[in-house]
Structure 1
Amino acid sequence: MSRCQCRCVGCQGLVRREERYRMDVHRPVELAVWGLPEPSRVRRPAGGTNNTTLILDDTHVLRIYQNLLPAEIAAEHRLLNELNQRGGLPFTVPAPRPTLDGRTVHDSMAIFPFVPGQRADESLESIELAAEALGVLDQALAEVAVELAPRDWRGSLEQIHPGVSDLEGACAELERRLGDGPGLRWFRESIGPAERLHAKLVRTLPVQIVHGDYSLWNVLVHEGRVSAVLDFEVAHLGLRLNDPVAAVTMATGLGISGAEERLAAFLRGYARSASLSAAEEEATPAMLRYKALYSVVWRIGRWRLGLSPIEEITERLADGLVLDKWLARSGWPGWAWAA
């Protein structure tokens, strides 16, 4: 794996922490810091690639962060505490348990109450439920003061991950490793136009705090309803459109076989709880492409820090190329298409 040569504090802190925690999920954890006894049963939930998560006795969840520094984790927790204090959501969002001295982060770890439920699957029913919950969540986030945004991602793609502050260098590095294939060419040639259009959109479209990673893996379903929305790790200040665009991409696999039914299910669910402006509708194809670029940048950053294999980048490049061809061939059908 590539190792990041950047000497910035963010990158080096992430590298050191990853080296400490890699594959070491059984290392001693001082649960007494949170006033908890040692668990009798520890298990891993299915899925997840960004952090290590362990379920303790089906009462608490231990999360070991790999992508954030302690100050960034604390910022995420302030947002979660605000959502929990406001109440009113028909599902749970994570509530970080304070340590005995009042902090919510200890050694880049956090404890949350366990919430029953299974990760939302790719069934049409689950997709529809998840999409409806997204509309509800984003309306709640719109009421939160923007000062509580853990980060501001209205700027360049080079803000997305601390391991990617030089997109030109990243492209050159990938070309040396992967060759100049169609996926990499799509990525390299799309960055400039996408950045310029995005800069215009953040000046004209609604901006608010958004979840930032709303996928089926981050939604729990229990007894026929959404019981929790998880993983606010990359919550940020950005376009309101970011969340539905990211979610519809991850839930439906736009451009691949079977996507049409999944897309219809998503749009039905989202329409029950939210609506977008005409300007956001018009900007959706461009933001779908921007989200595909964002996904590649995030995986490049993890690869550079040694947190992900390069194959994850090639997968995102292929996905982006498929999406781009689908948009060129079929076009975005519209958020009201399935109404």
Structure 2
Amino acid sequence: MLLTELLAGWRIPPGAHVGPTEAGSNNHTFRVTADGRSWCLRISQNMDRAQVLAEHRLLARLRRAGLSFAVPTPEPRIDGGTVADSPGGPVTLCAWIPGVRPDLGSEPALERFGRAAAELSTALAAVAPTDAPFDWRGGPLEDVPDVTALARDLMAAGLDADRAKVLRAGLDRALAAWAGIAGRLPQQVVHADLAPSNVLVAPDTGEVTGILDFEVAGYWLRAIELTVALALTGSTRGPDWPRRAAALTRGGAWGARLTADELHALPDLIVVRAAGSTLWRSTRWRRGQSSLAEVAERLDTLAAVLRWRSGAGAALGDVVAGA
């Protein structure tokens, strides 16, 4: 199905300009421009129609929550719905949210990021689990494949032996960590993917103008929101990671938001998240949706996380509490 045919269902004129967006490794996303307006068109590769509709219910709740930033607004189609079917997956069209990707090189920028994450977490706490695309209570390691077979397949495709060893070591460490966490921490609906690429800021002030991409939102651990924000902003990497982690958590007063058990679990949650991300990318690789290089990149990240956790990472809970 041609994009022009899909767009006609939203009354977008045939002469609209359509081009790929800068980011979006899990879906096909395009910027659509016509008559002085812009939209983002997304073809979902990881969600079915029911999950997309749940995402839209979640977004409707958030738009009524009085947030200081915007979230995607699905545009209604001619038939009154907000989802179109296509051979590539469910399709949605949302109004374009102004802003640029954040530069997180300074502590004030990290503080603003952490503050927006905390504001979103508060709003998501009121969302019913049925109004989220996923239920993650089993954790990202619930359906672990045959790791020996996965490593063999990856090596047959060209992955080196050292990275294959990281796969086994990382999953073993993550599974052991998850056994001590599962079912013991507060839960709520979470965004679960607060990467800088999913946040927009005003170019002049740096204030957050929008949070995007709720496709993996689901009912899970409340603390995973901070976990992911710390990991994906690079706030647990490098020799000055405690300073960066403190700035991000200080912005959202996360040390006061989380319980002592949540704070204690943060270093292990970083490991669990890195291992889960590696499995997610490996599964997409097996489906032909991701490259071997993307899997190798995740394995390199997992290796770095394991080194961090075995060294200074144990202090993360104290850093957050102190901030």
TM-score (norm 1): 0.82
CA shift, 1:43, in A, is: 3.7
Equivalent position of 2:18 in the other structure: 42
Give the distance between the partners of 1:196 and 1:325, measured in 2 at CA. 16
Call closer, same or farther: CA 1:273–1:112 in 2, change over 3 Å: farther
Question: How far does the alpha carbon of each residue in 1:85-135 deviate from its partner, in whole angstroms, 9 at most, with x for none?
Answer: x32111111111121222211022111111110122333243322211000
Question: How far does the alpha carbon of each residue in 1:40-85 deviate from its partner, in whole angstroms, 9 at most, with x for none?
Answer: 433433222122222222432211222222222222122112222x
Out of 223, 234, 243, the residue aligned to residue 252 of structure 1 is 234
**Pair 1:65-2:41 in alignment:** no
Call closer, same or farther: CA 1:159–1:266 in 2, change over 3 Å: same
Equivalent position of 2:161 in the other structure: 180
Equivalent position of 1:101 in the other structure: 79
Equivalent position of 1:79 in the other structure: 58
Assess if the C-alpha contact under 8 Å between 2:70 and 2:211 holds in 1.
yes
Q: Deviating runs (4+, > 4 A) in structure 1? A: 164-168
Higher RCO (C-alpha under 8 Å, 6+ residues apart): 1
Identity of paired residues, percent?
Answer: 35
**Pair 1:316-2:294 in alignment:** no
Equivalent position of 2:137 in the other structure: 154
Matches within 5 A, 1:183-332: 183-222=163-202, 223-224=204-205, 225-252=207-234, 254-256=236-238, 259-271=241-253, 275-331=257-313, 332=315
Unmatched 5+ stretches in structure 1: 1-19, 21-25
Give the distance between the partners of 1:194 and 1:88, measured in 2 at CA. 37
Out of 90, 111, 120, the residue aligned to residue 93 of structure 2 is 111
Assess if the C-alpha contact under 8 Å between 1:155 and 1:199 holds in 2.
no
**Pair 1:130-2:113 in alignment:** yes
**Pair 1:336-2:320 in alignment:** yes
Equivalent position of 1:89 in the other structure: 67
TM-score (norm 2): 0.86
Give the distance between the partners of 2:253 and 2:130, measured in 1 at CA. 29
Equivalent position of 1:16 in the other structure: none
* SS, match of residue 157 in structure 1: coil
Call closer, same or farther: CA 1:91–1:109 in 2, change over 3 Å: same
Amino acid of the residue matched to residue 128 of structure 1? E
Give the distance between the partners of 1:114 and 1:56, measured in 2 at CA. 9
